[in-house]
Every structure is written in C-alpha cells, then in structure tokens.
C-alpha cells in the first residue's frame, strides 16, 4: 500500500452523519450534487477548497448518528484519502471500509493537527507523519483482509477480485 498524502481538515468530537451530509440533501439523485453539501454546516466552503487525497481528522465518535451510507459516499465522491479519528461510530467505520476509504484510529490526534497540515499516512508501517515537523503518530493496524478491501477500493471490488468471475 502506498502512503496517503494530503492536507488535513480538522473537526472535533461527535461529528454526526447529518453534519457530514445534511438530511435535506438525501433526495438528490446524484452523488456529485450531494457532495457539494459535504460539511456545509461546519465548514461552509469545504466543497470549494477540498482536494483529492485530503484527509479528515477528528476526535471521538466520528460518524455517529444515522447509519446512512451517503455520509461515506460523499467523502468517496470528493476523493478523500482517509479519515483519521480517535474513535468511530462502528457503522460509519464499516461503511468506510466497505467503500474503500481508510478509517484510521489514532487516539488523541485531533488536538495535535491543524487545518492545512500536510499529512502522510503509511498504513503498512502504522504511522502518520506531519510534513515539516518531527511529529509522528502511531495508528491502530488494519487486518490483512481490511487492507485488501481498501486496496481494491471497497468490498464489492474485493469480492469480485476474489471470485474471479465465479458465479454465486
């Protein structure tokens, strides 16, 4: 797995799925249109400023609230490189892995990173480094199967790669 590099977007504790993508946009039929509203209540110009590969950094219980998969789908649409948090709502965590976005547990990182810090995440080595700084942070390791799912960009792709065309 190659390292993930991107600018940090720092949010606090208990960021819920309605803050990631408000309920009022669930009726939009296009993921691209929904993505325009990502984090708009927390960071109004997020959509205009976020770049592919950028990294979400948060505190505890990131992705709490409803089990809506759209909260992860909009992050995938924006090509977010990873979400790093002290802890995750388990449904959000599983949705992230299933859709191929690394959801990385790194306790206490939220208070150490600033918006715009350039992060490099080496999942294999289990470390996050901050560019221009001697700071580095240990991350909880992924199992081999989770690494494989992420490498395949999600569970569906992983399934078809493993099945190699075999019928169900």
Does 104 fall in a domain?
A: yes
Does 85 fall in a domain?
A: yes
Side by side, the strands of the sheet bearing 127-130 are: 103-105, 82-85, 55-58, 4-10, 118-122, 127-130, 136-138
Does 148 fall in a domain?
A: no
Does 96 fall in a domain?
A: yes
Does 154 fall in a domain?
A: no
Does 149 fall in a domain?
A: no
Q: Which domain holds residue 30?
A: 4-140
pLDDT of residue 165: 60
Number of domains in the chain: 1
Does 15 fall in a domain?
A: yes
As a whole number of angstroms, the distance between CA 71 and CA 47 comes to 14
Question: Which CATH number belongs to the domain containing residue 130 in this structure?
Answer: 3.20.19.10
pLDDT of residue 166: 60
Task: Indicate the pTM of the whole model.
Answer: 0.93
pLDDT of residue 162: 85
Tokens of 81: 């490189």
As a whole number of angstroms, the distance between CA 144 and CA 24 comes to 38
pLDDT of residue 168: 46
Q: Which residue has the tokens 């590969």?
A: 53
Does 136 fall in a domain?
A: yes
Reading the chain (168 residues) residue by residue, the pLDDT tens digits are 899 999 999 999 999 999 999 999 999 999 999 999 999 999 999 999 999 999 999 999 999 998 889 999 999 999 999 999 999 999 999 999 999 999 999 999 999 999 999 999 999 999 999 999 999 999 999 999 999 999 999 999 999 888 876 644
Tokens of 61: 């219980």
Cα–Cα distances in Å, from 5 out to 28, 58, 78? Answer: 31, 17, 15
């Amino acid at each position: 797995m190659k390292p993930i590099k991107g600018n940090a977007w720092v949010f606090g504790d208990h960021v819920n799925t309605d803050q990631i993508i408000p309920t009022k946009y669930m009726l939009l039929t296009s993921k691209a249109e929904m993505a325009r509203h990502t984090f708009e209540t927390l960071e109004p110009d997020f959509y205009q400023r976020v770049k592919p590969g950028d990294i979400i950094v948060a505190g505890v219980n990131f992705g709490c609230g409803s089990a809506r998969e759209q909260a992860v789908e909009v992050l995938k649409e924006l090509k977010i490189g990873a979400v790093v948090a002290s802890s995750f709502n388990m449904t959000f965590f599983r949705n992230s892995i299933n859709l191929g976005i690394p959801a990385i547990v790194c306790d206490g990182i939220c208070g150490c990173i600033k918006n715009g810090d350039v992060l490099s995440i080496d999942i294999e080595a289990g470390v996050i480094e901050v560019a221009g700084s001697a700071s580095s942070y240990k991350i909880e390791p992924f199992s081999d199967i989770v690494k494989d799912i992420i490498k395949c960009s999600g569970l569906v792709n992983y399934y078809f790669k493993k099945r190699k065309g075999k019928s169900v």
